[in-house]
Structure 1
Amino acid sequence: MTYATGHPVRAVGGRLILDFVNTADWTASGTIAHEKIESTDDLAVWLRALGLGEARPSTSLPELIRARFLFRQALTTGRISGDLGDLLTRSRAPCAVSGGDLHRQASRRPLLDLFAASFLSIGADARETARLKICPGRDCGWLFIDETRNARRKWCAMETCGNRAKATRHYDQHRKTRSAPA
């Protein structure tokens, strides 16, 4: 699936809240380099791609985008701002779902409740927070849980940021070799 801009929807974070935060590319300073969800249509595409087509956006798109920033800030700093604390207090994330298909029941919840539950599950598990990483790719800044055995995953996805970094490194080495005095 692709957004209206033609960019493919990619879920590489390993957790719902990380994939939501990753709907933007981030600079090293934490500002948005490229927005993926520019409209409610883009949000609907993203939700369908993640199997959440029945989730209810219980708030406006600008409020969801603001919440995304607050979640990312908390995940990268380990501190919950007052605004995010208010959002988490209002969410019904811990409420139980009963009867029927668990995924279907959960996917019908308001989006902010689903995001809050995912966020809280990462924070509640020290192993998750210890393996939470930020992709160092240029203007990427995507978050992911490193689930490799040796915890040495570096890139959000090797086929994008990892390959770009390797190609840049190769180009730089080749350029240095060619410009070195003989």
Structure 2
Amino acid sequence: MTPGAEVRDWLFYGGSSALDFVNTLRDRATTPRETLPDAESLARWFSAAGIEGWTDTTSQPPTPAEHQAALALRDAIDAVLAPGRTPTGEHVMLVNEHARRAPLRELRLDDPTTVVVAGSGTAAGSGTGAALGALAQAAIEVIAAGELPWVKICAHTRCGLRYLDRSRGRRRQWCSMERCGNRAKAARHARRGLDTGA
């Protein structure tokens, strides 16, 4: 996979870096496709996404173990934020564990829809740990800002991207009008043409 292909695969429609991170597992609605297959691609994604705590010049490349930890965190963030999923205590603890590396807030273990101040925590510096901490904090911030009810899943049958619906009236259906919205319009137009025999 070339870096150019990766950049095309990495979509930043989530409205939160935490949801953009979740969306690195693409095509969840059909056949999930991994866009972070190794530690090097994770480092490139941190850079492309502008994740706080990551710098190309001073951060050590992620290790294979850190890559696996990142994928586990990604699933935990999805469990905590995505509609239709129920987070386990393990999911919540994993988000909180990473969040303490960039400490601001954390989720209550007994009620993952409630945010509490976590205290000063541990200074993370820069690198994979700091970047993952920033992503965990971004997930917690969605809840702290009262936006959890506005996390949605794209309505296109082949998509599955998660996004924050900040539209007026909260009636957004697509991850992006330019992407899935246009696909849906084209499909409706084609169906109309078939129905009228055009």
After TM superposition, is the score higher than 0.5?
yes
Structure 1: which amino acid aligns with 2:194?
R
Decide whether the 8 Å contact of 1:133 with 1:143 is kept in 2.
yes
Using structure 2 for the length normalisation, give the TM-score. 0.71
Pairwise mapping of residues 92-131 of structure 1 onto structure 2 (< 5 A)? 92=100, 93-95=102-104, 110-126=130-146, 128-131=147-150
Pairwise mapping of residues 1-182 of structure 1 onto structure 2 (< 5 A)? 3=3, 5-8=5-8, 9-28=10-29, 33-52=32-51, 53-54=54-55, 57=62, 59-76=65-82, 77=84, 79-91=86-98, 92=100, 93-95=102-104, 110-126=130-146, 128-178=147-197
Decide whether the 8 Å contact of 1:135 with 1:156 is kept in 2.
yes
Give 1:32 deviation, angstroms. 5.5
Note closer, same or farther for the CA distance 1:145–1:89 as it changes in structure 2 (3 Å cut).
closer
Q: Which runs of 4+ in 1 moved over 6 A?
A: 105-108
Structure 2: tracts of 5 or more residues without a match = 105-119
Structure 1: which amino acid aligns with 2:68?
P
- State percent identity of aligned pairs: 31
Decide whether the 8 Å contact of 2:156 with 2:174 is kept in 1.
yes
Give 1:79 deviation, angstroms. 3.5
Counterparts of 2:175 and 2:76, CA distance in 1:
20
Counterparts of 2:6 and 2:21, CA distance in 1:
18
Give 1:15 deviation, angstroms. 0.7
Cα deviations across residues 33-66 of structure 1 (Å, max 9, x unaligned)?
2211122232222111122342675852122112
Counterparts of 1:21 and 1:27, CA distance in 2:
10
Worse overlay, 150-159 or 13-22: 150-159
Counterparts of 1:125 and 1:32, CA distance in 2:
32
Using structure 1 for the length normalisation, give the TM-score. 0.77
Structure 1: which amino acid aligns with 2:151?
L
